[in-house]
Chains A and B, each alone.
Chain A
Amino acid sequence: MKPISLHGHDRAITCIRYNREGDLLFSSAKDHLPNVWYAINGERLGTFGGKNDRDRNSHSGAVWCLDVDWETKNFLSGAADNSVRLWDVCTGKMLNCIETKSAVRTCGFSFSGNLAAFTSDKQMGHPCIINVMDVRDFQADKPVMQVVIPDKGPKVTSLVWSGIEEQIITGHDNGDLAQWDVKSSQKTNIVSDHSKTVTDIQMSKDNSMFISSSKDTTAKLFDTDTLECMKTYKTERPVNSASIAPKFDHVVLGGGQEAMDVTTTSTRIGKFDARFFHLVFEEEFARVKGHFGPINSVQFNPEGTGYASGGEDGYVRLHTFDPTYFSFQFEC
């Protein structure tokens, strides 16, 4: 295959997401402007914010997280400049902005796109807070739900909505996964299968299960309702992101050496390939090379015909699978 390399960022990629149809790909990096691309040919549709309106209407810090709603109408991005911003996808205009006390680490739209959750870091004496806002009335003083993680508690490092508007699942920096009920603001379940920071959580296509990746060098498959750990995919390096294929029983894992250790290892040793595992048998069956830094974010496109990965090297790579992938039979 011939991947398309997207050079829209000049810092390490932090997050990439397809919209529901898979025609647009959103990417954010440690530079200040999230980008949106046509997934079909890699053409850049635009950037959210720009050099001209840098001060008021664009981020001024590393963008840590992004999400796009079901209709590809609104786009949400949270950054280290202590703000979470809501954008219109079609025009790239900023619709709203909420200032927080500390850096925004994770964000996500609910199923309908009417609710948005985001979490802020434990930083400079401010606690880690999980917020849920109504997108139609996006104001800091009107949260639908607000949970303050106690000072000693683990901070939230990843977040995903589950169910239909009812629950959010958060991954924490001690490896815990917690399930929250939005209406009652209560923690309904907590598991600690991972031993280190949960770096990413992604839902399967039908939301019945999700995959979590962790710095403990594994990715795990969980049941969405019960948080029962069903499968474990083991590697020998920190996993920064994992995604479940919509078409086959496959998962893809992206990761690699810690970014701070990269300069001391060669690309061969660093193991920066995207690795494909069988969902059920937990066995690796393929690898794809390409990045020369750890992969920070991977996602299958919603049709399952390819995947995208964003790395510490600042590039987003759009892959379209060869026929060999579709004809591949897993032997067990």
Chain B
Amino acid sequence: MPEPREMTSSNWDEENEPADASLPMPSEKMVGKDTKIVTTYSLNDEDKRVKHVRTYKIERKLVSKAVAQRKSLAKFGESADDRPGPDPATTIVAEEISMQFVANKEESEKDNEDKSALDVLKEKSKGVVKCRICKEDHWTTNCPYKETLGPLRDSLAGKDVDKEDDAGGSGLPGGPGATASASNVTSGGKYIPPSRRGGEGGARDRIGESMPDRRKNEDTYAIRVSNVSANALETDLQELFKPFGNIARIFLAKDRNTGECKGFAFINYYKKEDAARAISTVNRLGYDNLILNVEWAKPSGT
């Protein structure tokens, strides 16, 4: 009875050894009755000798005569030159995988049903529902741009309220401010920090609040200076950029631990012309053995 060669080549390893002219002969070793260890040698691309150790488990199986005869057939076609046993070039033991039993059939089905029901609803609500944020036909709470456009819109709404309040006089209950704030409450649905809230007190508070930076930044023109020397200080930059106009703010990026300059800074001018002049003059200027690079700062968050 010819024995089928069951291959369970689970552990094989490679050992790199210095190149050698003669390769050792492949060897086969039987361990016990049903384990065979085959060692073969080959040269890899770098002329290093590679030793392949393959462990086979031999299973003996009773098969019908026809099958047994087919086990001893000569190989043909492209496999005619292959040695007995599986050729590692064409037969590879794949990674261990497991059959995943679907346990929660009902749940997964329900999911599908829910989805289809949602689709139906979507179909129905087409043209009826309109998102307040992006004007597409879905509910505002489901808007994919809720995170990005929503706050922006809120802040815009806040500005409107601001203006309207200024125009129509403050403190009138039921005025335009109240309606706007109502719309804000409904449109958001998620927590907005007081400082960002557009309606009612938020906008008005902001005027008197001692947080001028944000507003300042909005009306100023920032330029970005890079390739700044590590030894530079804010005062140095002030000296350098003061001649072009009034500076609103100077920000020099510093390393948190060493306090050294990280190599770039932002300068905010009140006037756009000043900023432009600073760029045209200081850009490509040699400063402390480095050449400064000055350009318009890109809006943050993009």
A residues sitting closer than 8 Å to B (CB atoms) are 1-8, 21, 23-24, 33, 37-38, 40-51, 71-72, 90-93, 236, 273, 276, 283-290, 317, 321-322, 324-325, 328
Contacts and interface: CB of A to CB of B under 8 A. Distances in A.
Contact of A290 (B4, B73, B75, B94): B94
Contact of A1 (B4, B89, B96): B96
Contacts, number: 134
7 cross-chain pairs, A with B, having the tightest CB-CB distances, nearest first: A92-B76, A47-B77, A46-B76, A42-B91, A43-B86, A46-B77, A5-B94
Nearest to B78: A47
B78 A283 contact: no
A42 B76 contact: no
Contacts of A324: 99, 101
A45 B8 contact: no
A40 B87 CA distance: 14
Interface of B: 4-8, 10, 61, 63-64, 66-67, 70-71, 73-80, 82, 85-87, 89-102, 105, 112
A207 B8 CA distance: 35
7 contacts: A4-B93, A8-B90, A45-B75, A50-B77, A286-B99, A286-B101, A287-B100
A155 B183 CA distance: 61
A51 B64 CA distance: 34
B interface SS class? loop
A321 B101 CA distance: 13
Given A24-B70, A284-B102, 18 more contacts: A6-B91, A7-B90, A7-B91, A21-B66, A23-B67, A41-B6, A41-B7, A42-B91, A44-B78, A44-B87, A44-B90, A45-B73, A90-B73, A286-B99, A287-B102, A289-B100, A322-B98, A324-B99
Of A8, A21, A44, A236, chain B has the most CB atoms within 10 Å of the CB of: A44
B97 A290 contact: yes
Given A33-B78, A51-B78, A3 B98 contact: no
Nearest to A42: B91
A4 B102 contact: no
A123 B75 CA distance: 37
